[in-house]
Structure 1
Amino acid sequence: MRPKLIIFDVNETLLDLKPLARRINASLSSDLAFDIWFSTLLHYSLVEAVTGHHEDFSKIAKATFEMTAAKFKKVIPEEEIKSILGMIKKLQPHTDVLEALTKLREKGFTLVALTNGNSTVAREQIVNAELEHLFDNVYSVDEAQAFKPHPKPYQYVLGKMNTKPEETLLVAAHGWDITGAQRAGIQTAFIAREGKFKYPLAENPNYDCKNLLALVKCLT
């Protein structure tokens, strides 16, 4: 079924995290630091979700950054941590994003964003990336009080947009996000950003694309 609603993940799917990765790797003196921090961040967001608690994603980001710094035997001053993690608000879109979203919008698709970040950060990211005119709404998981890939955030967006799961497509560069949406009954499109892979134990996504422009060709 041709989707009516397309839900986009934000970080890495739309926005390029490489500048933040370089900064974190430099501050912790390791090429592995960013990957360890980001994995730890996702891990503890899931701890919150499965234990029935919810915490601001930015607070989890800071806490897990401190954990990662300790792993590398580093003590980073509070203001520097704030400066480093504040870069998340200033990320630029991948080179295919503006053209792809514009084409999808022109073809009549309804576009929204759904991110684990809090509402304030999410909107700042989309505005800074100059993409706000392309989205009908930007949703944070805070509104559902559970982090992706818990079913609640996907179900929340479906309810707000009055759209059925089978009429909806989730677009993400993360295997865990794809898996969560699949298991909520939503169509999925995996975008193979550098270093990102599908989860082998999940079903194949409806669309498996090297970038967003390839997805546009599939949908139009």
Structure 2
Amino acid sequence: MAPGPVLFDLNGTLLDIATISRPWGSERGPLALRALDDAVMAGMTATLTGTYRPFAELLHAALDRRVRLQGLDASLVDDALELTKRMPPYPEVPGALDLLRARGIRLAVLSNSAVEIAEAALERAGLRDRFELVTGTDAVEAFKPDPRPYRHAVEQLGVAAGEVTMVASHWWDVEGAKGAGLRTAWVARREQILRTTVPEPDVRGEDVRDVAAALVP
């Protein structure tokens, strides 16, 4: 019997978020990635305060703030947002997904982006047909790591939470999924050392290929 479903984070786990920094140049590129982190934090704050706003709106505001702080050209905001629509997959991702599918493992995506945006990003990246389910935080109007998005995804898959493995490159996804009762797999892309307060993931890997190899029977 195949292992339970595998649920993937999208941006930074499957798709290369560094893409959005390219219009900003090598020196200022990190500012765009910090804006992405700012937007994630804003989403967490919105969830805690019950003031949900779509992630695209939060990202626009975060990029705009970084541009104004640095006195940069306002067109960089639109350039970065346009690139979020066509982020490429990390090189190992297609093969890793195919390995899991070949073993009969069900694949799904849970993104902080809205479902429609996540679907479009996967389509442009050539990955959409590998997933039976794509869901986003707009379905429950709460951002990860709140337990509601994870529980909603599990309900959509029609299995128990403990049968699902959440794969993510973000510490807060590992903590949120574990708190919602899912198994977890951490992809060490941006953070090679997981902070000690985060529950130990069930699987660790340097990239999605490593994680996939550990998950197959």
In structure 2, runs of 5+ residues without a counterpart are none
CA contact (8 A) 1:175 1:197 kept: no
CA contact (8 A) 1:7 1:114 kept: yes
For 1:218, the equivalent position in structure 2 comes to 214
Matched, 1:104 2:103: no
Shift of 1:197: 4.5
Shift of 1:3: 4.2
Shift of 1:31: 4.4
For 1:199, the equivalent position in structure 2 comes to 195
CA contact (8 A) 2:32 2:63 kept: no
Matched, 1:18 2:14: no
**Pairwise CA RMSD of aligned residues?**
1.7
For 2:155, the equivalent position in structure 1 comes to 159
For 1:39, the equivalent position in structure 2 comes to 37
Aligned-partner Cα distance in 1 for 2:55–2:38:
12
Task: Tell me the amino acid that sits aligned with residue 109 of structure 2.
Answer: A
Shift of 1:185: 1.1
Write out the 4+ residue segments of structure 1 that deviate beyond 3 Å after TM superposition. Answer: 194-197
How does the TM-score come out when normalised to structure 1?
Answer: 0.91
Shift of 1:212: 1.6
Shift of 1:108: 1.0
In structure 1, runs of 5+ residues without a counterpart are none
Matching of residues 32-71 of structure 1 within 5 Å: 32-71=30-69
How does the TM-score come out when normalised to structure 2?
Answer: 0.93
User: Which residue of 119, 124, 129 maps to 1:123?
Assistant: 119
User: Which residue of 64, 70, 73 maps to 1:72?
Assistant: 70
1:40 aligns to what SS in structure 2?
A: helix
1:105-147 per-position Cα deviation (integer Å, ceiling 9, x unaligned): 1101110001001122111110011111110011111001100
1:170-204 per-position Cα deviation (integer Å, ceiling 9, x unaligned): 00011111110011111000011144652320111
CA contact (8 A) 1:117 1:140 kept: yes
Aligned-partner Cα distance in 1 for 2:37–2:192:
12
Shift of 1:70: 2.1
Q: How many pairs align?
A: 215
